[in-house]
Structure 1
Amino acid sequence: MGRLFLVNLEGKSYSCKHCKTNLALCDDVVSKSFQSRHGKAYLFSKVVNVYAGKKEDRMMMTGMHTVVDIYCVKCGSYVGWKYEFAFEKNQKYKEGKSVLERYKVWGPDGNNYWVAQEVEAGDSDTDDA
């Protein structure tokens, strides 16, 4: 196994809730109105210190997308997914962007988002845009 190089972010950032590794800057939030199977999720234009899983086509609330799950590069915890391809024309803005699930990350003020009991299971990517 090689040496692990992490990108350190300057400014307010979101980090892995398990190992506190920086994942994204607050300035890179595109939307805070996404939903995941576990609750709130945020769309980011750029994330760091993650690695991608296998590509798969996934039916979400806004249509079919090709996505990869993303994991913290330091501890290996699942943190969200990245959009590789959107089949619907009005969803193309998501391509190349990543979603971090709030229950898997620490917020910029050090808070953690807890999963609500009433959240239903199922893939989602709802946004209000």
Structure 2
Amino acid sequence: MTIHTDPSATYRCKNCQNPVAFRAELLSKNYLAKTGRAFMFSHARNIVLGPKQERSLMTGVYTIAGIFCSNCGEELGWKYLQAYEARQKFKEGKFIIETAKIAKDYY
């Protein structure tokens, strides 16, 4: 079995294969979203932000925006715009992408 730890591995939209994040940008695998497991990334690309909204999540209240694939429009997760609790401020500007919505490519 080969374990791939290449920082250039790409996460792509499962629906259309549009690249949305790199392995080197993966910060955490310990998040939950609508469809189950989700990853936190420092950056995301080829996405479109939805409207701002206040959302009460398991760890507090946040201002977030949904993120959508810029190619096919698939909802992928969300971006944290503002955290109201001091201990959650590290999430601001980060992206949560649902694992059910992405596939990983290795180069």
Q: What TM-score do the two structures reach when normalised by structure 2?
A: 0.90
Aligned to 2:89: 92
Q: Which amino acid aligns with 1:31?
A: S
Q: Report the number of matched residues.
A: 100
Distance apart, 1:38 and its partner CA:
1.1
Aligned to 2:10: 13
Identity of paired residues, percent? 37
1-structure distance, mates of 2:8, 2:94: 20
Contact 1:26 1:108 in 2 (8 A): no
Aligned to 2:40: 43
2-structure distance, mates of 1:37, 1:23: 19
1-structure distance, mates of 2:53, 2:81: 9
Aligned to 1:63: 60
User: Unaligned regions of 5+ residues in structure 1, if any?
Assistant: 1-9, 110-129
Instruction: Show structure 1 runs of 4+ deviating over 4 A.
Output: none
Q: What TM-score do the two structures reach when normalised by structure 1?
A: 0.75
2-structure distance, mates of 1:37, 1:52: 17
Alpha-carbon deviations, 1:9-46, whole Å to 9, x = none? x9201000011000000110111000112110000000
TM-align CA RMSD: 1.2
Distance apart, 1:99 and its partner CA:
0.5
Whichever structure has more strand as a proportion of its residues is 2
User: Unaligned regions of 5+ residues in structure 2, if any?
Assistant: 1-6
2-structure distance, mates of 1:72, 1:64: 25
